[in-house]
Amino acid sequence: MNYIGTLRDQVQGMAQGFVAILPNLAIALVVLILTWLIAKSAVRITARLTKKSSIREDLRQLIATLVRLAIWIVGIMLAAIIAIPSFTPAGFIAGLGVGALAIGFAFQDIFENFLAGVLIMLREKMRIGDLIEVEGVLGKVEHISLRETHIRQLSNELTIMPNSMLFKNAVKILTDDTVRRNEVIVGVSYDADLEEAQRVIEEAMGTVDAIVKDRPVIVYAQEFGGSSIDFLVQWYAQSAQRDLRQTKSEAIKAIKKGLDAAGIEIPFPITTNMFPEPLRIETRNTGERGDAPA
């Protein structure tokens, strides 16, 4: 057998087939370029239309992403049909067979995060700009994509968290309401008049401008501490983290100033040691005895 001739014929046949489909490949390339231009224009138009409505920023991003994805799927399918006339979407899906199952397992995390991202964007709670706490991460939501969420921590560090973690775990949304309750423990001496101490604390809290005035300030004796009687002081402030810290600082200063002016002591921790028997105290002279003078 003439192996070289057979190989040459096969190579020539492949080359002729490639040349024959070059026009189809060129048209498919043009279709892909048009798909890119159409997707870009469609996303721009979608962003302009949704910006005029009251749709949240994360939902606008979701709509734009879905529009881009749909246009690209259609464009790629058209390009494949033009480049390979025998190609059909149904045949492609059927041809995947077990391969589709393997791909599904390989990209399970990606699909899971994608679906979680869609559900997070569709639900009403947790928007861009919210202060949240999840899995020990406390920060502001900066960006929500279909796969991950960007959280800017209070220390200015950026945490990129997979959407599946936000969807599976409990998320505290600290800015869900415009105001948030804050509290501090204040200890007074056992010798203090508790009614007087409570009145002084309430008056001191009334001088703090940063607290929300239409919400009550609650002051009540909470427990007998180790060296003081502890009062729990609760009030409401704006839910931004900076406002909470600033308000707490002003409240502590005002309470300390009020108690000092009223002569009410904030005691230091005191520890009393009890011994069943009197302690024996021994003294030892460790100095060396010199020789007596002659």
Domain 123-173 has CATH 3.40.50.300: no
Check residue 243 and give its pLDDT. 75
Q: Tens of pLDDT along the chain (294 residues)?
A: 566 766 666 666 666 666 667 788 888 889 899 999 999 999 888 888 877 777 777 778 778 888 888 999 899 888 888 888 777 766 666 666 656 666 666 667 777 877 888 888 777 778 888 888 898 898 999 888 878 899 999 888 999 999 888 888 888 888 887 888 899 999 999 999 999 999 999 999 999 988 888 889 999 999 998 889 999 999 998 877 777 888 899 999 999 999 999 999 988 877 767 777 776 777 777 655 555 554
Residue 94 is predicted with a pLDDT of 65
Domain boundaries, the chain: 14-94, 123-173, 179-261
Q: What is the pLDDT of residue 294?
A: 47
Contact 98, 27 (CB under 8 A): no
Q: Which fold has domain 179-261?
A: Alpha-Beta Plaits (3.30.70)
How many C-beta atoms lie closer than 10 Å to residue 63's C-beta?
Answer: 17
Distance separating alpha carbons of residues 178 and 240, to the nearest angstrom? 8
| Phi and psi at residue 196, to the nearest 5° | -65, -40
Kindly report the pTM of this predicted structure: 0.57
- Rounded Cα distance, 13 and 19, in Å: 10
What distance in Å separates the CA atoms of residue 226 and residue 160, rounded to the nearest whole number?
44
What is the rounded (10 degree) CA torsion for 263, 266, 267, 269? 180
The encoded tokens of residue 21 equal 């489909």
Nearest to 184 by CA among 265, 133, 255, 269: 255
The tokens of 17 are what? 């087939």
Alpha-helix runs per DSSP H in 84-221: 89-96, 98-106, 108-122, 163-168, 194-206
In this structure, the dihedral spanned by the alpha carbons of residues 167, 171, 173 and 174, taken in order and rounded to 10 degrees, is -160
